[in-house]
Amino acid sequence: MNDMPAGPVYLDNAATTFPKPVSVLEKAMETYRRIGVSPGRGGYDLAAEAEEFVRETRRKAARFFGSSAPDRVIFTGNATDALNIAIQGMLHPGDHVVSTRLEHNSVLRPLYHLRQKRIIEYDLVPFDGKGFVDPADIIAAIRPDTKLVVVTHASNVLGTVQPIREIGRRCAEHGVPLLVDAAQSAGAVPIDVDGWQVAALAFTGHKSMLAPTGIGGIVLAGQTEDIEPSRFGGTGIDSASPVHTRDFPYRLEAGTLNLLGIIGLSGSLDYLGEAGIEAVHAREMELVTKLRDGLSLITGIDLYCAEDLSDHVALLTANVRGMDPHDVGAILDADFNIAVRTGVHCAPLVHESLDTSPGGSVRFSVGPFNTGSDIDLTLEAMKEIARHGGKG
Ligand SMILES: Cc1ncc(COP(=O)(O)O)c(C=O)c1O
């Protein structure tokens, strides 16, 4: 349990998990108070200690993501930052990219930007009626000039977990690197960068990894050399040179690192290691299943891609027939003190495909500190809303 003051029923954990484990926050504060100097920049003991803490966190993160290359763990601000650095760094003028209609704007917009600048071209493959991309469709879209495949691991709208192992194997057979957006899956489902032949994986700390905001990263495959920096600056290495270092991980890190965030991430990796991500996920999925079962009994509620919750993270998307999802969210908040996310969730093409544009949907996302009673209250509220506001 997390000893926090009572607040709303918080079902917006896919945006950011809340609350964070108290032990993670307390440990972060204690460690930052002790070693909060600029890591790797000074010759004094405390700087060396801070740098060693950062290095140890790279090792921990590499182990957590199934990578044997801690020096290829790059710290970034979040998944958006990681995806921008990876996409811009891995592509060259004239390249073609294959991605999917499940993607978040943190993939779609960097790709669109590069296409508008006439630097790249891309094709997006569809997902099926259950919310999954067929690896064969990805392979079929590969052209001779395809230099990158980008796939979201878990959809932030549908919750479906894509078959990355198979996609990775098939991309490797075609010699095309695979970049995975693990924003929603990191900390929720086990990830094996080396075993799945993933070239680069972008993660964020503040969702299922249970770290504070402001920290994320890229886990690059061990032998990656073909990635160029898009930001340049101080690294603490070779400071007299006008050229940004080629050494990893510093090649892709410029400026002072977010040490407090890295300390938070280190603590959250310990927390997840102790709690076991499978156990946390199983409990969350029990609650999501209870929510799905309850919602599916309410007349006038449409659920999307939730018939089978295996290969799913702990979120559900629904609409009350005849009601604007923003109104549903506003009523849940104002009348029932339940926090959810409404709209298109930064994934507009998912909603286009579901035919839920432009309003989008209501997303319920469960975290480790939700309880059965949160789900009961939500189901009661949704019953009321569907009875009074919706069209059965
Ligand atoms: C699938 C997906 N990708 C990327 C992101 C971006 O994560 P962040 O806001 O931490 O950069 C999100 C956040 O909602 C997401 O759900």
75, 210: one domain: yes
End of a domain among 218, 246, 275?
Answer: 275
Q: Write out the residue range of the structural domain in which residue 290 sits.
A: 9-20+276-388
The residue annotated as part of the active site, out of 48, 172, 346, 377, is 346
Residues 227 and 289 reside in one and the same domain: no
Two tokens at 116?
């508008």
* Whether the predicted pLDDT of 111 surpasses 80: yes
CA distance 350 to 156: 10
Say what the pLDDT of residue 91 is.
98
Question: Is the pLDDT score of 287 beyond 90?
Answer: yes
Would you place residue 236 in the very low, low, confident or very high pLDDT band (cuts 50, 70, 90)?
confident
Task: Give the Å distance between the CA of 389 and the centre of ligand 1.
Answer: 31
Q: How far apart are CA 179 and CA 152, in angstroms?
A: 9
CA atoms of 89 and 83, how far apart (whole Å): 9
User: Does the active-site annotation cover 346?
Assistant: yes
* Alpha-carbon torsion (340, 344, 346, 350), positive or negative: positive
Please indicate, yes or no, whether residues 178 and 317 belong to a single structural domain of this protein. no
Q: Which of 80, 105, 164, 179 to mutate to test the pocket of ligand 1 (most atoms within 8 A of CB)?
A: 80
Top-confidence residue, 53 or 5:
53
Which residue, 245, 275, 305, sits at the end of a domain?
Answer: 275
Summarised one tens digit per residue, pLDDT across range 195-225 is 999 999 999 999 999 999 999 999 999 988 8
Spell out where 101-162 has E strands.
120-125, 146-152
* Domain end point (choices 226, 245, 275): 275
Same domain, 384 and 258: no
Ligand 1: atom nearest CA of 207 is: 10
Q: What whole-number percentage of the chain has pLDDT above 90?
A: 93
> Mind listing the pLDDT tens digit for each residue in 11-59?
999 999 999 999 999 999 999 999 999 997 778 999 999 999 999 999 9
Predicted confidence (pLDDT) per residue in 338-379, tens digit: 999 999 999 999 999 999 999 999 999 999 999 999 999 999
Task: Please state the domain count of the chain.
Answer: 2
84, 112: one domain: yes
Quick check: 1 pLDDT over 50? no
pLDDT in tens, 165-194: 999 999 999 999 999 999 999 999 999 999
